[in-house]
Amino acid sequence: MTETKVKGMLAIDELKAKVANGEVETVLAVLPDLYGRLIGKRITGDFFLEHTAGHGMHICDYLLTVDMEMEVIEGYKFANWELGYGDLHCVPDFKTLRLLTWLDKSALVICDLQTEPGCQPVEVAPRTMLNRQIERLTEAGYSAKGGSEIEYFIFKESYESAREKNYDGLNIYGWYIEDYHMLQGTKEEALNAAARKHMDNSGIPVEFSKGEASPGQHELNLRYADVLEIADRHVIYKQGLKEIAMAQGLAVTFMAKWRSDLAGSSMHLHLSLWDNDTGQNVFPGKHKAGPIEVSDEFRWFLGGWMAHAPAITPFYAPYPNSYKRYVSQSWAPTAIGWSYDNRTAGFRIVGHGNSLRIECRIPGADCNPYLAYAASIAAGLDGIENKIEPPGIFQGDVYTATGLPKIPGALRDATDELEKSAMFRRAFGSDVIDHYVHFFRTEQRKYDEAVTNWERERYFERA
C-alpha cells in the first residue's frame, strides 16, 4: 500500500518547478532553538536551489546559548567568548520541505545542525536530542507516534498594542468559559478557520479546533504522526498561528499561565510505541489494568516515564511561570498518578487496540516539543530496559489523593532533579544535561532578578 502524500509537502523537483514559475520566491531555512522558537534565514528561491540545497548554510553557534532576549549568556561550555562564537553547519532535511500558504510565495525546510568543521551532529541541538532517542527506539525494534494538543489564548490586540499596555488590561475574545461552545467559537472563527486551512495546506494536517476552559482560550489539534514529524509540525504550527494572527491585527499567547484567575494552557503529549516488524501498537496486551488490557512494554514504559517525571519536568515546564499552571481543579495536574480516561491524572490512558496511548498532561503550551518528546522516550526506554513497574492504577479524584508524588513546585526544584538524574546523563550525555541545567538556571535567575508590577502594587506605599 502506498503512503498518501500530505498536502503541502514538496519534493525538491516540485520546489524547482515552483521557483521557476514564480509560485515560490522565498525559502525559509529554519531550526528550533532551545526555547523551541524557529531561527534561521530567508533565502531567495534561486539561491536556495543553487547553493543551500546542496551545501547547507551557516549560523552562529551563540544561538544555542542566548536567552529569550537574544542576550549572550556566559557559563556555557558549548559556545562562549573564549571560543570566539564560530559557525555551525545547517543541513536541510528535505523530508520537511513544505509550502507555507499563510506567507506570500514561501516554502520552509527544517535543518539539522552539524559541527563546523567535522560535520558531526550537534548534541545539544533539540532536534538532535530527539533523533538520538529515535535511534535508540529503532535499535530496540520500536518506533513512536505522538500527538500534540496545544492550547492558547486569543486577544483582540496586536502584539504591539499588548506591549504598549504593558500586557495589562488586554482584551480577550469573549467573557465566559467557552469549552466546546460553538457560539463563542464563531466569534474567533476568522482566526481559527484560517489556521486550520493554512495548516492543512502546508503539510500540517489538522483534526479540529474547539473552545477551551477559559474565556478567549482555544485549542487546535494536529493529527498524530511519527514523533519527529509531530515535533516539526508543532513548532511550525505555533509560529504560523502567531503570524496568521498578526496578519489579522490579533495576538495569541502560548504562555502556560497568562492570568492567575484563568486556566493555564497545556500541551497534552500523546505517545505510543509501535513494533517495527509488525507495524502494530505494542501497548495493548493481556495484562489487566483497570478497564484495559496492556502489554509488559506498556507497563514498563509507563513505569519509567512516571519514575523519572520529576527530572523530566524542566523539559515540560521550562520557565518559572510554567509552574503557576499546576493548580488543583484547574485541569492541569498536580500529582504524578495514572488513570484510564481521567483528566485529574498527570498520566491519562486513552484509546483501545492500536489507538491505545499514554497522554501526559504535565507539559505546558510553552514547552519545546523536541525536548519534551525526547525526554519522555528516554524515560520510557529506561523503564523497558529495567522493567520498571508503575504504581497501581488510580481511580477517583487525583487532586484530593494523598500519598502520590507531586509535580515539582518550581523550576529550581525541577532543575535540581534533572541535574542529579543519572538516567538522563546516560541517555543524552553529561555535557548535554549540564548545558540545559545552565539554561534552566538562567531562566530562574532572570526571573528572580526581575521587579514585577505585583511587587510595586504591594510594597510601593505599604512596605
- Identify whether the C-beta of residue 352 lies closer than 8 Å to the C-beta of residue 263: no
pLDDT in tens, the chain (463 residues): 445 789 999 999 999 999 999 999 999 999 999 999 999 999 999 999 999 999 999 999 999 999 999 999 999 999 999 999 999 999 999 999 999 999 999 999 999 999 998 899 999 999 999 999 999 999 999 999 999 999 999 999 999 999 999 999 999 998 999 999 999 999 999 999 999 999 999 999 999 999 999 999 999 999 999 999 999 999 999 999 999 999 999 999 999 999 999 999 999 999 999 999 999 999 999 999 989 999 999 999 999 999 999 999 999 999 999 999 999 999 999 999 999 999 999 999 999 999 999 999 999 999 999 999 999 999 999 999 999 999 999 999 999 999 999 999 999 999 999 999 999 999 999 999 999 999 999 999 999 999 999 999 999 999 9
Domain boundaries, the chain: 14-122, 136-452
Q: Which class does domain 136-452 fall in? A: alpha beta
Task: Give Cα 133 distance to the centre of its chain.
Answer: 16
Task: Measure the CA angle with vertex 52, ends 51 and 58; round to 5°.
Answer: 120
The structure's pTM equals: 0.97
> What's the CATH code, domain 14-122?
3.10.20.70
Residue with cell 541545567: 437
Q: How far apart are CA 243 and CA 437, in angstroms?
A: 31
- Evaluate whether 217 touches 178 at the Cβ level (below 8 Å): yes
Closest CA relative to residue 251, chosen from 303, 199, 191? 191
In angstroms, the CA 221 to CA 224 distance is 9
Provide the pLDDT for residue 3: 58
Distances in whole angstroms, Cα of residue 76 to Cα of each of 18, 344, 408, 412, 426 = 42, 39, 25, 18, 20
- Whole-number Å distance between alpha carbons of 251 and 172: 9
b/e sequence 29-67, b meaning 16+ C-beta within 10 Å: bbbbbbbbebbbeebebeebbeebbeebbebebbbbbbe
pLDDT value at residue 149: 95
CB 246 within 8 A of CB 154: no
User: What is the reported pLDDT for 2?
Assistant: 45
pLDDT computed for residue 415 by the predictor: 98
Same fold, 14-122 and 136-452: no
